[in-house]
């Protein structure tokens, strides 16, 4: 029978599973979830605003500035998630001897930095 564990930063894994590729999940604290959802709701509103700007033929530079603000906000969400992931899930997996997590996080960071 698999045993579920969760650390203070929200990393959640199923240990003791018969198959080696046990499912990894992240369960963030209620405070972190609320923060992320609030940020994402704001970003969603900004995207709707940009759509409205385009529909109203708003000056391109103004639209581009709004897009830059959205990209910055998304980067902020990504940074929060990355920080929590590295402080919890990545550290936990390295401590358990799973060195593949280093390659995984490098691929993820390269995607975020594009």
- Tens-digit pLDDT profile for residues 69-87: 999 999 999 999 999 899 9
49: Cβ–Cβ under 8 A, 6 or more apart, which residues?
A: 66
pLDDT of residue 11: 59
Domain ranges within the chain, ordered by starting residue:
29-112
pTM above 0.85, yes or no: no
CATH architecture for residues 29-112 = Up-down Bundle (1.20)
Report d(CA 47, CA 56) in Å as an integer: 14
């Amino acid at each position: 029978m698999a045993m579920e564990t969760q650390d203070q930063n929200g990393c959640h894994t199923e240990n003791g599973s018969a198959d080696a590729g046990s499912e990894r999940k992240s369960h963030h604290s209620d405070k972190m979830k609320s923060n992320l959802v609030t940020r994402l709701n704001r970003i969603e509103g900004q995207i709707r605003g940009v759509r409205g700007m385009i529909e109203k033929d708003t000056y391109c530079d103004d639209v581009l500035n709004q897009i830059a603000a959205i990209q910055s906000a998304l980067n902020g969400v990504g940074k929060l998630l990355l920080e929590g992931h590295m402080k919890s899930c990545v550290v936990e997996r390295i401590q358990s001897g799973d060195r593949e997590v280093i390659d995984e996080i490098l691929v993820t960071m390269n995607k975020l930095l594009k």
